[in-house]
């Protein structure tokens, strides 16, 4: 991506924790000049101090974009520092869960271009996926700029409306926790069948990681990959008879889990 506008006008990063640091690292590697980046963070890390960016200094008057990377519970205290940049040409990009576009418009001004995004934790190692959606003030060029920045930590998808954000949160935002629990339970089940605990955990981690990589890279759909590894009457078939049971297997459990997360997201957004 061409970061000329950002390198010319500047970029403001509000909050530089794990996600902010992962993003910043990707930007600097991708062609954004350190001198164009202004970071606001009350406790800058030694890593951040070594990057050559501006830290807790006066902000540029008209930065191209301001990325909000503080935790949702800190947003109320942090946003007032950004108000001066609202209602102008600066695009605001939020990666904070649970804060709606309407809330940002109320704080920053109704004419502010705002892009709301939902990343997930694998973004911290550059393997995330982020969904984005903009308000009526956001142009196609604004979305391109936001996407270009978020590609530094993984894939990006564009939503057709903010109403989809709760479902995205339930699938990909909360989804890593579902996978981590799968690893936990696979390891525990292996241990119950006689494997040493450390070996069972190693097998579970490697299996989930490998299967995920295969599903991502393979031309075939996951359903076909499942068929490929399932011999009729074999061990995998015996396990899938349990996991795919319509009354208490994966389909019902995950449908209920994602629905519960979606509804909770809607409640928190009110």
* Residue 47, domain member (yes or no): yes
Contacts by 250-258, CB closer than 8 A, 24 or more apart: 254/178, 257/170, 257/178, 258/167, 258/170, 258/171
Percent of the chain with pLDDT over 90: 86
* Residue 183 and residue 107 in one domain: no
Domain count, the chain: 2
Give the pLDDT mean for 200-204: 98
- For residues 92 and 68, the answer to whether their CB atoms sit within 8 Å is yes
Beta strand pairing call for 65-68 and 11-14: parallel
Strands (E), the chain: 11-14, 37-40, 54-55, 65-68, 91-94, 114-118, 128-134, 154-158
Exposed/middle/buried for residue 7 (C-beta within 10 Å: 0-12, 13-18, 19+): middle
DSSP state for residue 65 in the 8-state scheme: E
Nearest to 101 by CA among 129, 74, 138: 138
* Residue 223, domain member (yes or no): yes
Residue 265 is predicted with a pLDDT of: 86
Assign 206 a pLDDT band (cuts: 50, 70, 90): very high
Given 105, 135, 161, the domain boundary residue is 161
* Residue 145 and residue 190 in one domain: no
DSSP letter string, 210-252: HHHHHHHH-SS-HHHHHHHT--TTSHHHHHHHHHT-TTTSHHH
Sequence-separated (6 or more) residues with CB below 8 Å from residue 254: 178
* Residue 23 and residue 101 in one domain: yes
* Residue 166, domain member (yes or no): no
Residue 117 is predicted with a pLDDT of: 95
- For residues 222 and 212, the answer to whether their CB atoms sit within 8 Å is no
State the residue range of the domain holding 96. Answer: 4-161
Strands (E), 31-172: 37-40, 54-55, 65-68, 91-94, 114-118, 128-134, 154-158
Residue 146 is predicted with a pLDDT of: 96
Give the pLDDT mean for 125-151: 96
* Residue 131 and residue 55 in one domain: yes
Spatial separation of the C-alpha atoms in residues 231 and 222, rounded to whole Å: 16
How does the average pLDDT of the chain come out, rounded? 94
* Residue 12, domain member (yes or no): yes
* Residue 24 and residue 143 in one domain: yes
Residue 245 belongs to domain with CATH number: 1.10.3730.10
Residue 46 is predicted with a pLDDT of: 96
* Residue 184, domain member (yes or no): yes
Residue 21 belongs to domain with CATH number: 3.40.50.720
Q: What are the beta bridge partners of residue 158? A: 132
- To the nearest 10 degrees (0 to 180), the angle between helices 18-30 and 140-150 is 100
- Give residue-wise pLDDT tens across range 141-159: 999 999 999 999 999 999 9
Q: Which residue has the higher pLDDT, 187 or 265?
A: 187
Sequence-separated (6 or more) residues with CB below 8 Å from residue 92: 65, 66, 67, 68, 82, 85, 86, 104, 108, 112, 113, 114, 115
* Residue 79 and residue 145 in one domain: yes
- Give residue-wise pLDDT tens across range 41-83: 989 999 999 999 999 999 998 999 999 998 877 888 888 889 9
Q: Is 110 helix (H, G, I), strand (E, B) or coil?
A: coil
* Residue 192 and residue 151 in one domain: no
Q: Is 44 helix (H, G, I), strand (E, B) or coil?
A: coil
**Does 168 score more than 90 pLDDT?**
yes
Query: CA distances (Å), 101 to each of 75, 95, 104, 209, in order?
Result: 13, 11, 5, 35
Residue 65 — φ and ψ, nearest 5°?
-155, 145
* Residue 168, domain member (yes or no): no
Assign 120 a pLDDT band (cuts: 50, 70, 90): very high
Give me 226's structure tokens. Answer: 């499942």
- Give residue-wise pLDDT tens across range 12-29: 999 999 899 999 999 999
**Does 175 score more than 90 pLDDT?**
yes
- Give residue-wise pLDDT tens across range 76-104: 888 888 999 999 999 999 998 888 999 99
Percent of the chain with pLDDT over 70: 100
């Amino acid at each position: 991506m061409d970061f000329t506008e950002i390198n010319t006008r500047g970029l403001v990063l509000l909050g530089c924790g794990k996600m902010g640091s992962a993003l910043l690292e990707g930007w600097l590697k991708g062609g954004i000049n350190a001198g164009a980046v202004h970071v606001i963070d009350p406790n800058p890390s030694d890593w951040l101090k070594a990057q050559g960016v501006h830290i807790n200094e006066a902000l540029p008057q008209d930065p191209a974009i301001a990325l909000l990377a503080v935790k949702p519970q800190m947003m109320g205290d942090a946003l007032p520092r950004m108000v001066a940049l609202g209602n102008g040409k600066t695009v605001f990009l939020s990666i904070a869960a649970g804060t709606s576009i309407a809330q940002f418009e109320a704080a920053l001004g109704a004419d502010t271009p705002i892009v709301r995004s939902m990343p997930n934790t694998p973004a911290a190692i550059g393997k995330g996926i982020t969904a984005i959606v903009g308000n009526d003030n956001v142009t196609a060029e604004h979305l391109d700029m936001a996407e270009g920045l978020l590609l530094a930590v993984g894939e990006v998808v564009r939503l057709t409306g903010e109403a989809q954000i709760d479902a995205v949160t339930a699938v990909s935002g909360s989804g890593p926790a579902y996978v981590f629990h799968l690893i936990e339970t696979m390891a525990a089940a292996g241990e119950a069948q006689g494997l040493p605990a450390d070996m069972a955990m190693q097998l579970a981690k490697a299996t989930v990681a490998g299967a995920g990589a295969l599903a991502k890279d393979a031309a075939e759909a996951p359903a076909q990959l499942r068929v490929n590894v399932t011999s009729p009457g074999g061990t995998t078939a015996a396990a899938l008879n349990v996991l795919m049971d319509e009354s208490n297997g994966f389909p019902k459990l995950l449908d209920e889990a994602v629905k519960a997360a979606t509804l909770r997201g809607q409640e928190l957004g009110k």
